[in-house]
Amino acid sequence: ATKKLDHAPVMIGVAADSGCGKSTFLRRVLGALGTDVKPGHTAIGDMLTVICLDDYHINDRAGRKATGQSALDARENDFALMGAQIEALKQGKAVYKPIYNHDTGFKDPPELIEPNKVFVVEGLHPIYDTKARSQLDMSLYIDIVNKVKFAWKVKRDVAERGWTEEQVQADIQKRLPDFAAYVDPQKADADVILRYEPSDQGLPYLKVKLIQKKGGPFPMITLKKELTLTGSKSGATLKQYDMDWMGSPATVVEMDGEIDMDNMEKQVEEIEANLVGLAASPNELRDAMVKLKTSPGSQNGTGLLQAVIAMKIREVYDKLTGR
Ligand code: ADP
Ligand code: G6P
Protein backbone atom coordinates (compact mmCIF):
# COMPACT_ATOMS: atom_id res chain seq x y z
CA ALA A 1 0.00 0.00 0.00
CA THR A 2 1.22 3.48 -0.77
CA LYS A 3 2.04 5.59 2.25
CA LYS A 4 -0.07 8.70 2.81
CA LEU A 5 2.01 11.84 3.18
CA ASP A 6 0.85 14.93 5.02
CA HIS A 7 3.66 17.04 3.61
CA ALA A 8 5.92 17.23 0.58
CA PRO A 9 8.86 14.86 0.88
CA VAL A 10 12.09 16.46 2.08
CA MET A 11 14.89 16.05 -0.45
CA ILE A 12 18.53 16.10 0.62
CA GLY A 13 21.36 15.93 -1.92
CA VAL A 14 24.74 14.41 -1.06
CA ALA A 15 27.46 14.82 -3.67
CA ALA A 16 30.97 13.38 -3.66
CA ASP A 17 33.41 11.44 -5.74
CA SER A 18 32.92 7.70 -5.51
CA GLY A 19 34.93 5.97 -2.82
CA CYS A 20 34.80 9.10 -0.69
CA GLY A 21 32.68 7.66 2.06
CA LYS A 22 29.11 8.42 1.00
CA SER A 23 27.83 5.03 2.13
CA THR A 24 29.72 5.34 5.40
CA PHE A 25 28.28 8.82 5.87
CA LEU A 26 24.74 7.62 5.22
CA ARG A 27 25.11 4.74 7.65
CA ARG A 28 26.15 7.24 10.29
CA VAL A 29 23.24 9.54 9.51
CA LEU A 30 20.77 6.68 9.71
CA GLY A 31 22.41 5.30 12.84
CA ALA A 32 22.30 8.71 14.50
CA LEU A 33 18.65 9.17 13.54
CA GLY A 34 17.69 5.84 15.05
CA THR A 35 16.35 4.16 11.93
CA ASP A 36 17.21 0.59 11.02
CA VAL A 37 20.16 0.08 8.76
CA LYS A 38 19.63 -2.65 6.21
CA PRO A 39 22.72 -2.96 4.04
CA GLY A 40 22.00 -3.79 0.44
CA HIS A 41 18.53 -2.27 0.45
CA THR A 42 17.67 0.98 -1.25
CA ALA A 43 14.92 1.81 1.21
CA ILE A 44 16.21 1.97 4.76
CA GLY A 45 13.98 2.39 7.77
CA ASP A 46 10.45 3.56 7.15
CA MET A 47 10.90 7.27 6.63
CA LEU A 48 14.05 7.72 4.61
CA THR A 49 14.85 6.35 1.18
CA VAL A 50 18.32 6.63 -0.34
CA ILE A 51 18.48 7.11 -4.09
CA CYS A 52 21.89 6.33 -5.58
CA LEU A 53 22.45 8.35 -8.73
CA ASP A 54 24.79 5.74 -10.23
CA ASP A 55 21.51 4.11 -11.24
CA TYR A 56 21.12 6.79 -13.90
CA HIS A 57 24.29 5.77 -15.75
CA ILE A 58 23.23 5.51 -19.39
CA ASN A 59 25.63 2.76 -20.40
CA ASP A 60 26.72 -0.35 -18.62
CA ARG A 61 30.43 -0.97 -18.04
CA ALA A 62 31.00 -2.42 -21.51
CA GLY A 63 29.11 0.52 -23.00
CA ARG A 64 31.43 2.96 -21.26
CA LYS A 65 34.42 1.07 -22.62
CA ALA A 66 32.97 1.60 -26.08
CA THR A 67 32.33 5.34 -25.64
CA GLY A 68 35.64 5.82 -23.83
CA GLN A 69 33.90 8.08 -21.35
CA SER A 70 34.03 7.68 -17.58
CA ALA A 71 31.00 7.37 -15.32
CA LEU A 72 31.78 10.88 -14.07
CA ASP A 73 31.17 12.36 -17.50
CA ALA A 74 27.82 14.15 -17.74
CA ARG A 75 27.17 12.43 -21.08
CA GLU A 76 27.21 9.03 -19.35
CA ASN A 77 24.30 10.00 -17.07
CA ASP A 78 20.62 10.38 -17.91
CA PHE A 79 19.98 13.75 -16.29
CA ALA A 80 16.59 14.12 -17.99
CA LEU A 81 15.26 10.94 -16.38
CA MET A 82 17.04 11.69 -13.10
CA GLY A 83 15.48 15.17 -12.92
CA ALA A 84 12.03 13.93 -13.88
CA GLN A 85 12.08 11.14 -11.30
CA ILE A 86 13.40 13.32 -8.49
CA GLU A 87 10.69 15.84 -9.32
CA ALA A 88 8.05 13.09 -9.26
CA LEU A 89 9.31 11.82 -5.89
CA LYS A 90 9.23 15.37 -4.54
CA GLN A 91 5.57 15.51 -5.61
CA GLY A 92 4.87 12.35 -3.62
CA LYS A 93 4.63 10.04 -6.62
CA ALA A 94 6.13 6.58 -7.02
CA VAL A 95 8.65 5.93 -9.81
CA TYR A 96 10.27 2.97 -11.52
CA LYS A 97 13.94 3.77 -11.05
CA PRO A 98 16.62 2.07 -13.13
CA ILE A 99 19.32 0.08 -11.35
CA TYR A 100 23.01 0.02 -12.14
CA ASN A 101 24.55 -3.12 -10.69
CA HIS A 102 28.08 -2.40 -9.48
CA ASP A 103 28.94 -6.08 -9.13
CA THR A 104 28.07 -7.11 -12.67
CA GLY A 105 28.53 -3.76 -14.43
CA PHE A 106 25.12 -4.28 -16.06
CA LYS A 107 21.79 -2.52 -15.71
CA ASP A 108 19.26 -4.54 -13.69
CA PRO A 109 15.48 -4.31 -14.22
CA PRO A 110 14.01 -1.11 -12.71
CA GLU A 111 12.67 -1.11 -9.15
CA LEU A 112 9.60 0.59 -7.75
CA ILE A 113 10.41 3.48 -5.42
CA GLU A 114 7.44 4.31 -3.22
CA PRO A 115 6.73 7.76 -1.83
CA ASN A 116 8.48 8.48 1.43
CA LYS A 117 8.98 11.33 3.88
CA VAL A 118 12.68 11.94 3.27
CA PHE A 119 14.84 11.17 0.25
CA VAL A 120 18.60 11.34 0.27
CA VAL A 121 19.79 11.67 -3.30
CA GLU A 122 23.45 10.67 -3.30
CA GLY A 123 26.01 10.29 -6.00
CA LEU A 124 28.38 12.00 -8.36
CA HIS A 125 26.00 14.68 -9.69
CA PRO A 126 23.01 15.63 -7.49
CA ILE A 127 23.93 19.33 -7.65
CA TYR A 128 25.39 19.40 -11.16
CA ASP A 129 22.12 19.16 -13.03
CA THR A 130 19.82 22.14 -12.53
CA LYS A 131 16.60 20.11 -12.73
CA ALA A 132 17.64 17.72 -9.97
CA ARG A 133 19.21 20.51 -7.93
CA SER A 134 16.05 22.62 -8.01
CA GLN A 135 14.15 19.80 -6.25
CA LEU A 136 16.54 19.68 -3.30
CA ASP A 137 15.70 21.26 0.04
CA MET A 138 19.34 21.08 1.11
CA SER A 139 22.58 19.96 -0.49
CA LEU A 140 25.85 18.68 0.94
CA TYR A 141 29.19 18.23 -0.79
CA ILE A 142 31.83 15.96 0.73
CA ASP A 143 35.12 17.56 -0.25
CA ILE A 144 38.19 15.42 0.25
CA VAL A 145 41.39 17.15 -0.75
CA ASN A 146 43.60 15.07 -3.04
CA LYS A 147 46.28 14.32 -0.45
CA VAL A 148 43.71 12.70 1.83
CA LYS A 149 41.97 10.88 -1.02
CA PHE A 150 45.32 9.51 -2.15
CA ALA A 151 46.29 8.38 1.36
CA TRP A 152 42.94 6.58 1.80
CA LYS A 153 43.11 4.92 -1.60
CA VAL A 154 46.67 3.78 -1.08
CA LYS A 155 45.71 2.30 2.26
CA ARG A 156 42.85 0.34 0.74
CA ASP A 157 44.12 -0.59 -2.72
CA VAL A 158 47.71 -1.39 -1.76
CA ALA A 159 46.84 -3.32 1.38
CA GLU A 160 43.73 -5.12 0.16
CA ARG A 161 43.88 -5.20 -3.62
CA GLY A 162 47.56 -5.67 -4.33
CA TRP A 163 48.12 -2.39 -6.21
CA THR A 164 51.30 -0.32 -6.12
CA GLU A 165 51.32 3.30 -4.99
CA GLU A 166 52.15 4.29 -8.58
CA GLN A 167 49.08 2.46 -9.86
CA VAL A 168 46.87 4.20 -7.30
CA GLN A 169 48.34 7.56 -8.29
CA ALA A 170 47.86 6.78 -12.00
CA ASP A 171 44.24 5.78 -11.37
CA ILE A 172 43.54 9.03 -9.52
CA GLN A 173 45.26 11.06 -12.25
CA LYS A 174 43.18 9.32 -14.93
CA ARG A 175 39.94 10.30 -13.22
CA LEU A 176 41.09 13.79 -12.33
CA PRO A 177 40.03 15.71 -15.48
CA ASP A 178 36.46 14.38 -15.32
CA PHE A 179 36.34 14.82 -11.56
CA ALA A 180 37.44 18.44 -12.00
CA ALA A 181 34.97 19.04 -14.83
CA TYR A 182 31.83 17.33 -13.56
CA VAL A 183 32.01 16.58 -9.83
CA ASP A 184 34.21 19.06 -7.99
CA PRO A 185 32.48 22.25 -9.25
CA GLN A 186 29.34 21.26 -7.33
CA LYS A 187 30.98 22.34 -4.09
CA ALA A 188 30.45 25.96 -5.08
CA ASP A 189 26.67 25.42 -5.15
CA ALA A 190 26.26 23.16 -2.12
CA ASP A 191 24.57 24.60 0.98
CA VAL A 192 27.03 22.93 3.29
CA ILE A 193 30.45 21.42 2.62
CA LEU A 194 32.18 18.79 4.72
CA ARG A 195 35.87 19.11 3.88
CA TYR A 196 38.67 16.72 4.88
CA GLU A 197 42.21 18.09 4.88
CA PRO A 198 45.45 16.80 6.39
CA SER A 199 45.82 17.85 10.03
CA ASP A 200 48.22 20.67 10.93
CA GLN A 201 50.21 17.79 12.47
CA GLY A 202 50.19 15.93 9.15
CA LEU A 203 48.50 12.71 8.01
CA PRO A 204 47.04 10.35 9.06
CA TYR A 205 45.46 12.95 11.33
CA LEU A 206 42.76 15.05 9.71
CA LYS A 207 41.46 18.57 9.93
CA VAL A 208 37.74 18.49 9.14
CA LYS A 209 35.74 21.59 8.27
CA LEU A 210 31.99 22.02 8.33
CA ILE A 211 31.58 24.94 5.94
CA GLN A 212 28.11 26.39 6.43
CA LYS A 213 26.89 28.95 3.92
CA LYS A 214 25.22 31.89 5.57
CA GLY A 215 21.55 32.46 4.87
CA GLY A 216 21.10 29.01 3.33
CA PRO A 217 18.86 26.10 4.37
CA PHE A 218 21.50 24.51 6.60
CA PRO A 219 20.67 25.54 10.19
CA MET A 220 23.98 26.81 11.44
CA ILE A 221 25.93 25.37 14.31
CA THR A 222 28.51 27.41 16.23
CA LEU A 223 30.87 27.03 19.19
CA LYS A 224 30.65 28.72 22.57
CA LYS A 225 34.43 29.01 22.55
CA GLU A 226 37.54 27.56 20.99
CA LEU A 227 38.26 24.21 22.60
CA THR A 228 41.18 21.86 23.15
CA LEU A 229 39.83 18.48 24.26
CA THR A 230 40.75 17.64 27.84
CA GLY A 231 43.30 14.85 27.94
CA SER A 232 43.42 14.47 24.15
CA LYS A 233 46.62 12.67 23.13
CA SER A 234 46.67 14.38 19.72
CA GLY A 235 45.78 17.78 21.18
CA ALA A 236 42.45 17.82 19.31
CA THR A 237 41.01 21.31 18.87
CA LEU A 238 37.71 22.79 17.73
CA LYS A 239 37.57 26.25 16.18
CA GLN A 240 35.06 28.52 14.52
CA TYR A 241 35.61 31.32 12.03
CA ASP A 242 34.07 33.05 9.02
CA MET A 243 35.39 32.71 5.48
CA ASP A 244 34.52 33.26 1.87
CA TRP A 245 33.62 29.93 0.28
CA MET A 246 33.91 30.31 -3.48
CA GLY A 247 32.08 33.62 -3.43
CA SER A 248 29.66 32.87 -0.58
CA PRO A 249 30.11 34.01 3.01
CA ALA A 250 30.29 31.00 5.30
CA THR A 251 30.81 30.08 8.94
CA VAL A 252 33.19 27.20 9.54
CA VAL A 253 33.34 24.85 12.49
CA GLU A 254 36.58 22.91 12.34
CA MET A 255 37.98 19.96 14.23
CA ASP A 256 41.66 19.05 14.03
CA GLY A 257 43.07 15.92 15.67
CA GLU A 258 41.49 12.94 17.30
CA ILE A 259 39.13 11.88 20.00
CA ASP A 260 40.70 9.22 22.25
CA MET A 261 38.66 6.07 21.73
CA ASP A 262 39.17 4.99 25.36
CA ASN A 263 37.74 8.32 26.52
CA MET A 264 35.15 8.92 23.81
CA GLU A 265 32.09 9.50 26.00
CA LYS A 266 33.72 12.21 28.11
CA GLN A 267 35.33 13.97 25.17
CA VAL A 268 32.20 14.01 23.01
CA GLU A 269 30.28 15.30 26.03
CA GLU A 270 32.81 18.11 26.25
CA ILE A 271 32.32 18.94 22.58
CA GLU A 272 28.54 18.69 22.84
CA ALA A 273 28.44 21.09 25.80
CA ASN A 274 30.37 23.57 23.68
CA LEU A 275 28.05 23.48 20.63
CA VAL A 276 25.35 26.08 20.03
CA GLY A 277 22.37 25.17 17.85
CA LEU A 278 22.77 21.39 17.69
CA ALA A 279 18.99 20.89 17.95
CA ALA A 280 19.39 17.58 19.75
CA SER A 281 18.33 16.18 23.09
CA PRO A 282 20.96 16.14 25.86
CA ASN A 283 23.84 13.72 25.15
CA GLU A 284 22.27 12.66 21.86
CA LEU A 285 25.47 13.40 19.95
CA ARG A 286 27.51 11.41 22.48
CA ASP A 287 25.15 8.46 22.22
CA ALA A 288 25.18 8.59 18.41
CA MET A 289 28.98 8.53 18.41
CA VAL A 290 29.18 5.72 20.96
CA LYS A 291 26.65 3.66 19.00
CA LEU A 292 28.78 3.83 15.86
CA LYS A 293 32.13 3.71 17.63
CA THR A 294 33.56 1.05 15.30
CA SER A 295 32.50 2.83 12.10
CA PRO A 296 35.26 4.54 10.03
CA GLY A 297 36.03 8.09 11.17
CA SER A 298 34.59 7.80 14.69
CA GLN A 299 37.86 9.03 16.20
CA ASN A 300 38.02 12.28 14.26
CA GLY A 301 36.06 15.21 12.86
CA THR A 302 34.67 13.21 9.95
CA GLY A 303 32.50 11.05 12.19
CA LEU A 304 31.74 13.81 14.64
CA LEU A 305 30.63 16.35 12.04
CA GLN A 306 28.70 13.70 10.11
CA ALA A 307 26.72 12.99 13.28
CA VAL A 308 26.14 16.74 13.63
CA ILE A 309 24.84 16.83 10.04
CA ALA A 310 22.43 14.00 10.90
CA MET A 311 20.88 16.17 13.63
CA LYS A 312 20.68 19.03 11.14
CA ILE A 313 18.91 16.88 8.54
CA ARG A 314 16.32 16.08 11.18
CA GLU A 315 16.06 19.78 12.05
CA VAL A 316 15.47 20.68 8.41
CA TYR A 317 12.84 17.95 8.21
CA ASP A 318 11.11 19.24 11.35
CA LYS A 319 11.16 22.82 10.08
CA LEU A 320 9.87 22.01 6.62
CA THR A 321 7.12 19.77 7.87
CA GLY A 322 6.12 22.02 10.75
CA ARG A 323 6.88 19.50 13.47
P1 ADP B 1 31.40 5.53 -1.29
O2 ADP B 1 30.05 5.06 -0.84
O3 ADP B 1 31.46 7.00 -1.53
O4 ADP B 1 31.93 4.77 -2.47
P5 ADP B 1 32.37 4.23 1.13
O6 ADP B 1 31.48 4.74 2.19
O7 ADP B 1 32.15 2.85 0.65
O8 ADP B 1 32.44 5.24 -0.10
O9 ADP B 1 33.85 4.40 1.69
C10 ADP B 1 34.99 4.11 0.89
C11 ADP B 1 36.14 3.67 1.80
O12 ADP B 1 36.56 4.73 2.64
C13 ADP B 1 35.77 2.52 2.71
O14 ADP B 1 36.88 1.64 2.78
C15 ADP B 1 35.52 3.16 4.06
O16 ADP B 1 35.79 2.30 5.13
C17 ADP B 1 36.50 4.33 4.02
N18 ADP B 1 35.99 5.48 4.79
C19 ADP B 1 34.78 6.05 4.65
N20 ADP B 1 34.62 7.07 5.49
C21 ADP B 1 35.76 7.17 6.19
C22 ADP B 1 36.23 8.03 7.22
N23 ADP B 1 35.47 9.04 7.70
N24 ADP B 1 37.48 7.84 7.69
C25 ADP B 1 38.26 6.85 7.20
N26 ADP B 1 37.88 6.00 6.25
C27 ADP B 1 36.65 6.14 5.73
C1 G6P C 1 32.39 5.59 -10.68
C2 G6P C 1 30.88 5.43 -10.61
C3 G6P C 1 30.48 4.00 -10.67
C4 G6P C 1 31.22 3.24 -11.74
C5 G6P C 1 32.72 3.42 -11.53
C6 G6P C 1 33.63 2.63 -12.43
O7 G6P C 1 32.94 5.17 -9.47
O8 G6P C 1 30.37 6.01 -9.44
O9 G6P C 1 29.10 3.92 -10.88
O10 G6P C 1 30.86 1.90 -11.67
O11 G6P C 1 32.99 4.78 -11.69
O12 G6P C 1 33.30 2.81 -13.74
P13 G6P C 1 33.69 1.70 -14.82
O14 G6P C 1 33.39 2.35 -16.13
O15 G6P C 1 35.14 1.43 -14.59
O16 G6P C 1 32.81 0.53 -14.54
CA distances from 158 to 17, 169, 238 (A): 20, 11, 33
Predicted pLDDT at 33: 75
Burial 185-202 (b: 16+ CB within 10 A, else e): ebbebbbbbbbbbbbeee
Counting beta carbons within 10 angstroms of the beta carbon of residue 230, is it exposed (0 to 12), middle (13 to 18) or buried (19 or more)?
A: exposed
pLDDT band for position 37 (50/70/90)? very low
- Which residue, judged by its Cα, is nearest atom 27 of ligand 1? 296
Residue 18 Cα to ligand 2 midpoint, Å, equals 8
Residue 35 Cα to ligand 1 midpoint, Å, equals 20
- In single-letter form, the type of residue at position 110 comes to P
pLDDT tens-place string over residues 96-148: 999 999 899 999 999 999 999 899 999 999 999 999 999 999 999 999 999 99
Ligand 2 atom closest to the CA of 102, numbered from 1: 10
Please report, for the chain, the start and end positions of each structural domain, with discontinuous segments joined by +: 9-141, 191-323
Note the ipTM here.
0.88
Q: Which residues line ligand 1 (CB under 6 A)?
A: 16, 18-24, 152, 156, 296-297, 302-303
Report the percent of the chain where pLDDT is more than 90.
Answer: 74
* pLDDT over 70 (residue 232): yes
Strands (E), 176-271: 192-198, 206-213, 222-223, 227-228, 237-245, 248-256
Q: H/E element holding 49?
A: strand 48-52
Ligand 1 atom closest to the CA of 196, numbered from 1: 23
Predicted pLDDT at 140: 98
Cβ neighbour number for residue 282 with a 10 Å cutoff? 11
Predicted pLDDT at 61: 95
* pLDDT over 90 (residue 235): yes
* pLDDT over 50 (residue 312): yes
CATH architecture of 9-141: 3-Layer(aba) Sandwich (3.40)
- Which residue, judged by its Cα, is nearest atom 2 of ligand 2? 71
Among all bound ligands, the one having the nearest atom to the CA of 99 is 2
pLDDT (average), residues 203-215:
97
For the CA atoms of 45, 48, 53, 54, the dihedral, rounded to the nearest 10 degrees, stands at: -10
pLDDT band for position 3 (50/70/90)? low
- Ligand 2 pocket residue status of 185, Cβ below 6 Å: no
Residue 22 Cα to ligand 1 midpoint, Å, equals 7
- Ligand 2 pocket residue status of 61, Cβ below 6 Å: yes
pLDDT (average), residues 255-284:
96
First to last CA, the chain: 25
- Ligand 2 pocket residue status of 124, Cβ below 6 Å: yes
Predicted pLDDT at 36: 47
Task: Tell me which residue of 262, 261, 306 sits closest to 288, measured CA to CA.
Answer: 306
- In single-letter form, the type of residue at position 8 comes to A
Please give the mean pLDDT across all residues of the chain. 91
pLDDT tens-place string over residues 154-188: 888 888 888 899 998 898 888 999 999 999 999 99
Q: CA 57 to CA 114: how far, in whole Å? A: 21
Contact 39, 30 (CB under 8 A): no
Give me the DSSP letters along 119-164. Answer: EEEEES-TTTSHHHHHT-SEEEEEEE-HHHHHHHHHHHHHHHH---
